[in-house]
C-alpha cells in the first residue's frame, strides 16, 4: 500500500454572502475531491491546538503527528531547517511595505527572487553586528539568524495578520532581544528602499531556537517524501526525515506548475511509501480576500492536482488523505483555528458524497484531534 497526503493550504472557508451564503469549496467545481469523499470516509479535524496561533507551521506539524506543545519553537527555525541554515535563533524576515505607519503589503507585491536577494545582500553589507545575518528564502519570505547569547522569549506578530493596521502596536515585545529586533527593522528602513520599490522595510517575527522533531519513519514505519512550494513545509519535511523534492517552475500561487507538482508525486510514490503534496496557491487567494478567485483556485486544484493524480494512480493500492491545514476565510483574509474537513480514501466508505466544510461534519470520523490523523492514515 502507498500513502498520499494532499494538503491544499487554506482551502476551508466560511459561508460567503456574495457566493449565495455558500463556501468557496461548496461553490467550486470539485468532481474529483467529491469522488474521493464519496468512496472514502470523512470528518473534521482540529489542526490547531488550544492556545496556538493558526499558522501553517503549527497546523501542518499537527497533521503529521508532531505535538507542537512539545516541539514547536517557531516558523523561522523550520524554514531554516529547509535551507540548511544554522543559527542559535532564527526569525522570519518578511519584506513588507509600510505607509504612514500602516502595514500595507506583507508580501512586497510578491517581489521576485532576484530582487529580493539583492535586498538581502544589501542588508548584510550594511549590518554592523557580526552575529546577525540575513538569508534569502523565497520571494518576500526571508530569514534572519542571531547567534548572540539571548535566551529570553520575545512576542512577535505575523505581518499578514496586521494588514491595514498601525505597525507600532505590533512591534516585538520583550526585553533585550525585542529591542534588537526593533533596531534591525529600523535599520532596514534605510537600506531596503535603496534597492527596491516593492518593499520599504523588513518585518521580523516567528522565531526561536532550532527544533528537534521525532522522525516519521521511526514512528510510522514508512519512508516519506515532501513536495511543497514553500520553505516552511520543506523544513518540516527535513525535520521529520523525509526526502524533500524540488519542483521547477512553482510559484506558490494559482499560476503554479501543477503538472510538475503532480508528476513529482507520481515519481516519488514509486520509491517512497508516504508522499505529502502541499500547495500554497489557494491560501494566498484567501489572504487576498477574493471569493470568486478562491472558487476558481479550488476548481483548478481539483482538476490539475486531484484529477490528474487519480487518473494515473493505482487506486487499489493507494490510500489518500486530503485536507487543508487550516481555513483562510476570504472575509477575514487570515488563518483561523477552526476545524477543517478531511477525507480518507482507500479504507472504508461512509455516507458523505461531497467534500466540503458541512458535508464532512456528518462523516464517519466526526470531529477529531488533528494529532490523530496519521493514526487514521495508517489504520488497519
Residues that bind Zn ion (CB under 5 A): 283
| 58 versus 262: smaller Cβ distance to Zn ion | 58
Strand order in the sheet with 340-345: 243-245, 224-228, 274-279, 2-8, 318-322, 340-345, 41-46, 366-369
Q: How far is the CB of 323 from Zn ion (least distance, A)?
A: 15
| 58 versus 66: smaller Cβ distance to Zn ion | 58
Q: How far is the CB of 311 from Zn ion (least distance, A)?
A: 29
Q: How far is the CB of 222 from Zn ion (least distance, A)?
A: 28
**Residues whose CB is less than 8 angstroms from the CB of residue 345 and which lie 6 or more positions away in sequence, other chains included:** 36, 37, 39, 40, 315, 319, 320, 321, 322
| 57 versus 283: smaller Cβ distance to Zn ion | 283
Q: How far is the CB of 259 from Zn ion (least distance, A)?
A: 24
Cα dist. 7→218, 320, 357 in Å? 23, 11, 15
d(CA 241, CA 225): 9
Q: How far is the CB of 283 from Zn ion (least distance, A)?
A: 4
Residue 10: φ, ψ to 5°: 70, 15
- CA within 13 Å, CB half, 169: 9
First to last CA, the chain: 11
| 283 versus 350: smaller Cβ distance to Zn ion | 283
Q: How far is the CB of 160 from Zn ion (least distance, A)?
A: 7
Secondary structure E strands in the chain: 2-8, 41-46, 89-99, 102-105, 132-138, 141-146, 201-209, 224-228, 243-245, 274-279, 318-322, 340-345, 366-369
| 229 versus 283: smaller Cβ distance to Zn ion | 283
| 13 versus 283: smaller Cβ distance to Zn ion | 283
CB 119 within 8 A of CB 148: no
Q: How far is the CB of 328 from Zn ion (least distance, A)?
A: 5
d(CA 14, CA 297): 16
| 60 versus 196: smaller Cβ distance to Zn ion | 60
Amino acid at each position: 500500500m502507498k500513502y498520499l497526503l494532499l494538503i491544499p493550504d487554506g482551502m476551508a472557508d466560511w459561508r460567503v454572502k456574495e457566493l449565495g451564503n455558500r463556501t468557496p469549496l461548496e461553490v467550486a467545481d470539485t468532481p474529483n475531491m467529491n469522488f474521493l469523499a464519496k468512496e472514502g470516509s470523512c470528518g473534521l479535524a482540529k489542526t490547531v491546538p488550544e492556545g496556538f496561533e493558526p499558522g501553517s507551521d503549527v497546523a501542518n506539524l499537527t497533521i503529521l503527528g508532531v505535538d507542537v506543545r512539545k516541539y514547536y519553537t517557531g516558523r523561522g527555525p523550520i524554514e531554516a531547517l529547509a535551507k540548511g541554515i544554522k543559527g542559535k535563533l532564527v526569525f522570519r524576515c518578511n519584506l513588507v511595505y509600510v505607509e504612514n505607519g500602516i502595514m500595507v503589503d506583507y508580501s512586497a507585491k510578491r517581489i521576485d527572487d532576484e530582487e529580493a536577494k539583492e535586498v538581502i545582500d544589501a542588508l548584510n553589507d550594511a549590518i554592523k553586528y557580526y552575529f546577525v545575518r540575513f538569508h534569502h528564502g523565497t520571494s518576500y519570505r526571508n530569514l534572519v539568524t542571531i547567534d548572540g547569547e539571548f535566551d529570553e522569549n520575545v512576542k512577535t506578530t505575523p505581518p499578514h495578520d496586521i494588514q491595514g493596521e498601525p505597525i507600532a502596536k505590533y512591534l516585538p515585545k520583550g526585553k533585550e532581544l525585542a529591542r534588537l529586533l526593533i533596531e534591525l527593522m529600523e535599520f532596514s528602513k534605510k537600506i531596503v528602499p535603496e534597492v527596491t520599490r516593492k518593499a520599504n522595510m523588513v518585518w521580523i517575527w516567528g522565531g526561536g531556537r532550532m527544533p528537534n522533531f521525532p522522525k516519521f519513519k521511526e514512528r510510522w514505519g514508512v519512508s516519506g517524501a515532501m513536495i511543497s512550494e514553500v520553505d516552511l513545509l520543506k523544513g518540516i519535511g527535513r525535520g521529520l526525515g523525509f526526502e524533500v523534492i524540488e519542483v521547477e517552475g512553482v510559484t506558490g500561487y494559482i499560476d503554479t506548475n501543477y503538472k510538475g507538482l503532480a508528476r513529482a508525486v507520481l515519481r516519488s510514490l514509486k520509491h517512497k511509501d508516504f508522499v505529502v503534496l502541499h500547495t500554497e496557491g489557494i491560501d494566498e487567494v484567501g489572504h487576498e480576500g477574493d471569493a470568486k478567485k478562491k472558487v476558481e483556485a479550488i476548481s483548478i486544484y481539483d482538476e490539475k492536482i486531484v484529477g490528474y493524480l487519480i487518473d494515473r494512480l493505482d487506486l487499489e493500492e493507494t490510500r489518500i488523505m486530503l485536507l487543508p491545514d487550516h481555513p483562510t476565510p476570504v472575509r477575514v483574509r487570515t488563518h483561523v483555528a477552526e476545524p477543517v474537513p478531511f477525507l480518507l480514501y482507500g479504507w472504508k466508505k461512509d455516507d458523505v458524497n461531497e467534500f466540503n466544510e458541512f458535508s464532512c461534519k456528518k462523516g464517519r470520523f466526526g470531529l477529531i484531534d488533528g494529532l490523530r490523523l496519521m493514526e487514521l492514515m495508517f489504520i488497519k
